[in-house]
Structure 1
């Protein structure tokens, strides 16, 4: 059985999140019912598949804020608002699911987030048109597949911390996201941080930790 980490919010400023994608339908149902029966505050469910969602009892569904693009769900609302802003910048609409996972995780965490999609380097004018908005954020999350060139471009244009999320979007040598990951890791832009392939949740959590150090607080 799943052992819930109810003290995680107190320890690190973020509650335990439930990764549903690697669990069976019955396991997710049991965990969601148990969480709903407790009074330990909001919870975030990630990679919540359609079949898993459909299997949840109506009493739990009534308390969920669900999003099918990101496959995330908020159980019992969100955390209190924190100071600070994050721009989640995605190269293409194909990266929207990962970018939205990051944005939803931030919103669950009480962080104001601007989601900016389809500003990849194939049309630099689109990125230039949004630069002032991106530069106004305290932290930038760059989400990109293929060659992940957006990561280095943003790293050279904005002063804020840049957290890169390589995605599995691509074909040929870019299939699976390894090329994007290697490109982000090899970026010549100074100080870019890189999380795992398709890990929008992890990038958002990194941003929450950063904001906590500079006054975003718990």
Structure 2
């Protein structure tokens, strides 16, 4: 995959993760299979079956998700700060985007867990030092030292292209077809417009195609 395209996808993935975290939800199963592309080739995060809510400062302990993408603190059975496990998984996704394979793979689960706990992975020589450094920052075993979303956005590799997570239309330009469809479902047009413009998360906005 072209580096600019991988970078664009990373912008959109992180924007989605950030929005999820702002609602005090952690996904806990971030992986390529749960990232869909719409007709504009924009990322949509799906499958929140393993997600959970959390309060500010709260630690969770349930280990879940796909082992190859799971953070070491989760693998170790430790309590963990929810947002940072999603950051680790995004680091694995970024590695897969630019390298074409996963950083942590082993048919023996014990060996796989050992690699994850020690962040043992090999960086191919065809990727740049900049993206390798970004990946290393996201795949830091100590969650307190791991890059945050803010740190990632400041990184030189992330900033190689203009911010790509913004909508390509103005906020006040709502899709008339969607509004008509919502109206046909029994959601009054004016109420639907207010919910969408105010970024409300309710039965109306989750019905939008």
Select the structure with the greater relative contact order (CA < 8 A; seq sep ≥ 6): 2
TM-score of the superposed pair, with normalisation by structure 1? 0.29
Structure number with higher strand proportion? 1
TM-score of the superposed pair, with normalisation by structure 2? 0.30
Instruction: Please say which structure displays the higher CA radius of gyration.
Output: 2
